[in-house]
C-alpha cells in the first residue's frame, strides 16, 4: 500500500493557521523527509497519525529555530528565566547554542510528544524516559537531517502558536514560599491543637479514617456528627495533615511516601514505585504538601519508573510538576 502523504491542511492545522506562508511548502516537504525515520523508530511504532504528528511537531521546532520566534522561543526563554538553563533533563555544554538547532532540543521535543498530560481523567497521563535509547537515537537522526538542510530552510515570518511546547503560563507562575510558622504567626485553633498533639511537628500521620475521626473529635474538639467529620474521606486511608501558617491541610493515600521518624506508615519501597504520581497526577496531593516534602528532604525515595528515574525526578521535580499538574501547581 502506498504511504499517504502529509497534506498542507494538516500542516496548517498543526500550526493553527488557515493562511499559507511562503515557506510552508518547504517545511511540509521536510516533514515528509523525516517521516520514514520516525516510522522506523520503535518510539512511534505502528500509528500513522501519531507518526505524522511527530514529523510536523519536529518541523515546527525547526521552523521556530530558523525564524528565532514562535512557541519554541517562548518556551526556551521562559524556561531559562525560571531555571537559568534552557532545557530540563539534559546537561548543556558550550556546544549548545540557544538560537540554533541542537540535538538536545530535538530530544526534548520527542519527550513532549511522548509525555502526555492528563486531559479528562487524572491518571491518563503518559511518562517517557528522556534518556531512552530509542529517543536519543531518533533525536540524533533528526538533528543530522535538520543540520544538512539548515542553510536552505526558509524563514516563515508568522510565529508558530506560543503554547505548542507547553502553556507559557505554567512557567510564569511564581513559586511561593512555604507557609512556615514563625513566632509572629497567628494560628487558628485547629493548627494550634495539631502542633500541641505532634510536639511542634508540621506533619501528622494517620493510617485509617477511624484514627483520623478520633483525632478530629478528641484532639481538635470537632462536633461528633457525620457531616462535621469530613465523611467524603471515610473510604480513604494513609492520611497526612499539614499544619501550617495558612491553616490545616489534609491529604489522603500519600502518607507512605514521607520519610519522617514519627511516620509509622512510611514505606520506602512504595515511595519508590508509586510516589512519582504526586508530581504527575493532578489532584493526587495538595501542592503545598509536595513542596514541603521536597524542600524538607522527606520525599527521598520518589522516582520516575525508569532506570534513572530518581535522579531525573529529584533534579527536575518543579518543572515536572508544572508540566503535568498545570493549574494544580501552586493552585488547587
Phi, psi of 14 (to 5 degrees): -65, -30
Distance, CA of 260 to CA of 145 (rounded, Å): 51
DSSP of 134-200: HHHHHHHHHHHHHHHHGGGPPPPSSPPPTTSSS-HHHHHS--PPP----TT----HHHHHHHHHHTS
Distance, CA of 66 to CA of 72 (rounded, Å): 11
pLDDT score for 242: 97
For the chain, counts of helices (H) and of strands (E)? 13, 3
pLDDT score for 282: 94
pLDDT score for 183: 85
pLDDT score for 3: 58
**β partners of residue 204:** 241
Residue 36: CB atoms within 10 A of its CB come to 12
Give Cα 69 to chain centroid, integer Å. 24
pLDDT tens-digit profile of 254-273? 999 999 999 999 999 999 99
Ranges assigned E (strand) in the chain: 203-208, 237-244, 247-251
Give 3-state DSSP helix, strand, coil % of the chain, rounded to 5.
50, 5, 45
pLDDT tens-digit profile of 232-242? 999 999 999 99
Distances from the Cα of 130 to the Cαs of 68, 90, 138, 147, 284, in angstroms?
24, 8, 12, 22, 24
- On whether the CB atoms of residues 244 and 253 are closer than 8 A, the answer is no
pLDDT tens-digit profile of 292-315? 999 999 999 999 999 999 999 999
Question: Per-residue pLDDT for 102 more than 60?
Answer: yes
Distances from the Cα of 173 to the Cαs of 96, 321, 324, in angstroms?
27, 12, 14
pLDDT score for 332: 53
- On whether the CB atoms of residues 181 and 245 are closer than 8 A, the answer is yes
Contacts with 71 (C-beta within 8 Å, 6 or more apart), sequence order: 60, 64, 159, 160, 161, 162, 163, 164, 165
pLDDT score for 1: 38
pLDDT tens-digit profile of 121-172? 888 999 999 999 999 999 999 999 999 999 999 999 999 999 999 999 999 9
Closest CA to 87 of 313, 316, 294, 305: 316
Burial per residue of 301-328, b for 16 or more beta-carbon CB atoms within 10 angstroms, e otherwise: bbbbeeeebbebbbebbbbbbbbbbbeb
Instruction: Show me where the domains of the chain are located.
Output: 8-172, 189-328
Distance, CA of 131 to CA of 305 (rounded, Å): 13
Question: Per-residue pLDDT for 2 more than 60?
Answer: no
DSSP single-letter state for residue 67: H
- On whether the CB atoms of residues 219 and 197 are closer than 8 A, the answer is yes
pLDDT tens-digit profile of 53-95? 999 999 999 999 999 999 999 999 999 999 999 999 999 999 9
Instruction: State the pLDDT confidence band at 226, using cuts at 50, 70 and 90.
Output: confident
pLDDT score for 197: 97
- What is the chain's mean pLDDT, rounded? 95
Cell readout for 305 is: 519508573
Amino acid at each position: 500500500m502506498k504511504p499517504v502523504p502529509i497534506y498542507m491542511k494538516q500542516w496548517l492545522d498543526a500550526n493553527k493557521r488557515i493562511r499559507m506562508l511562503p515557506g510552508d511548502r518547504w517545511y511540509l516537504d521536510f516533514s515528509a523527509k523525516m517521516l520514514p525515520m520516525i516510522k522506523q523508530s520503535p518510539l512511534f511504532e505502528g500509528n500513522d497519525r501519531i507518526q505524522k504528528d511527530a514529523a510536523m511537531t519536529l518541523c515546527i521546532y525547526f521552523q521556530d529555530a530558523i525564524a528565532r520566534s514562535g512557541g519554541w522561543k517562548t518556551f526556551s526563554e521562559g524556561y531559562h528565566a525560571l531555571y537559568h538553563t534552557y532545557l530540563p533533563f539534559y546537561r548543556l555544554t558550550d556546544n549548545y547554542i540557544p538560537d540554533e538547532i541542537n540535538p538536545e532540543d530535538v530530544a526534548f521535543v520527542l519527550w513532549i510528544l511522548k509525555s502526555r498530560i492528563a486531559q479528562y481523567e487524572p491518571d491518563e497521563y503518559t511518562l517517557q524516559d528522556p534518556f531512552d535509547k530509542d529517543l536519543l537515537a531518533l533525536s540524533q537522526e533528526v538533528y543530522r537531517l535538520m543540520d544538512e538542510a539548515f542553510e536552505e530552510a526558509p524563514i516563515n515570518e508568522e510565529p508558530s502558536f506560543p503554547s505548542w511546547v507547553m502553556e507559557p503560563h505554567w512557567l510564569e507562575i511564581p513559586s511561593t514560599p512555604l507557609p512556615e510558622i514563625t513566632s509572629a504567626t497567628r494560628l487558628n485553633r485547629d493548627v494550634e491543637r495539631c502542633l500541641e498533639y505532634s510536639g511542634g511537628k508540621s506533619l501528622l500521620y494517620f493510617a485509617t479514617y477511624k484514627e483520623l475521626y478520633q483525632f478530629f473529635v478528641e484532639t481538635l474538639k470537632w462536633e461528633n456528627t457525620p457531616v462535621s467529620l469530613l465523611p467524603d474521606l471515610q473510604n480513604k486511608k494513609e492520611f497526612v495533615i499539614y499544619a501550617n501558617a495558612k491553616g490545616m491541610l489534609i491529604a489522603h493515600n500519600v502518607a507512605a511516601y514521607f520519610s519522617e521518624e514519627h511516620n509509622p506508615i512510611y514505606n520506602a519501597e512504595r515511595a519508590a514505585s508509586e510516589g512519582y504520581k504526586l508530581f504527575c497526577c493532578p489532584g493526587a496531593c495538595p501542592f503545598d504538601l509536595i513542596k514541603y516534602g521536597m524542600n524538607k528532604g522527606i520525599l527521598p525515595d520518589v522516582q520516575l519508573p525508569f532506570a534513572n528515574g530518581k535522579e531525573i525526578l529529584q533534579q527536575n521535580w518543579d518543572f515536572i510538576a508544572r508540566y503535568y499538574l498545570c493549574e494544580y501547581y501552586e493552585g488547587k
